Amino acid sequence: MTEYTTEDIRQAAKILRAGEQITLTGTVYTARDAAHKRFFELLDRGEKLPFELDGAIIYYTGPTPAPPGRAVGSCGPTTSGRMDGFTPRLLDLGLAAMIGKGERSKEVAEAIVRNGAVYLCAIGGAGALMANCVTRAQEIAFPELGCESVKRLTVEKLPLIVGLDSVGGSVFWKDGGAK
């Protein structure tokens, strides 16, 4: 398993291939449905997002509150398809990668290829395992959304599988195209 940092994910996306197992260390941002809706409201008003989108990685998760001595509670992936309506625009604006679970739409797969990005899959049902990889968590936007607020996470050796790669490869579809 090859280890990558979040800072070099844009370059790594050029060589990562569907099915490859990696670990990821560095900064990722959490965002689920409600946060994505807020992102679009900000963008539509010409305002900045709460973090620099260019080169960023969004992890589709809503960590539970942290027990004593931990950065977060359970931190498993949510179903990525719920963000599909938002994702192509964010990729076109510089998003480098997403982390989640499950299939993506044809439009997302095309945007990944168009932008040289990558979709990374986390293990569903393993929120406690994923939480062990989070060393720091800081809420940075939309606190009223509770667990769905946007957080900056520092992760160490987060285990992932390349789901969709920058050349159209997919672990979901035999030919790389959507079903």
pLDDT at 126: 81
Output the CA–CA distances (angstroms, integers) from residue 1 to 16, 48, 85, 119, 120, in the order listed.
12, 36, 32, 17, 14
Task: State the total domains in the chain.
Answer: 1
Average pLDDT, the chain: 94
Domain that includes residue 41, residue range: 2-164
**Residue 174: inside a domain, yes or no?**
no
Torsion of CA 84, 87, 92, 98, to 10 degrees: -120
Plot region of 25 (φ>0 → left; ψ -120 to 50 → alpha; else → beta): beta
Q: Is residue 145 part of a domain?
A: yes
- At 108, list the tokens: 């997302």
What's the pLDDT tens digit per position in 114-150? 999 999 999 887 888 899 999 999 999 999 999 999 9
Exposure of 114 in the CB half-sphere (CA atoms within 13 A): 15
> Would you say residue 170 lies in a domain?
no
Distances (CA, A) of 153 to 15, 62, 130, 150: 25, 11, 12, 10
How do residues 30-63 score in pLDDT, each as one tens digit? 999 999 999 999 999 999 999 999 999 999 999 9
pLDDT at 158: 96
Helices (H), the chain: 9-12, 33-44, 87-92, 106-115, 127-131
Phi and psi angles of residue 164, each rounded to the nearest 5 degrees, phi first: -135, 130
Mean pLDDT of 59-71: 94
- Kindly state whether residue 11 falls inside one of the protein's structural domains: yes
The reply to whether 96 falls in a domain is yes
Does 179 score more than 50 pLDDT? no
List, for residues 97-116, the tens digit of each pLDDT value: 999 999 999 999 999 999 99
Does residue 99 belong to any structural domain of this protein?
A: yes
Distance CA 58, CA 27 (A): 9
Residue 128 lies in a domain: yes
Tell whether 179 is covered by a domain: no
- Could you tell me the CATH number of the domain that includes residue 38? 3.20.130.10
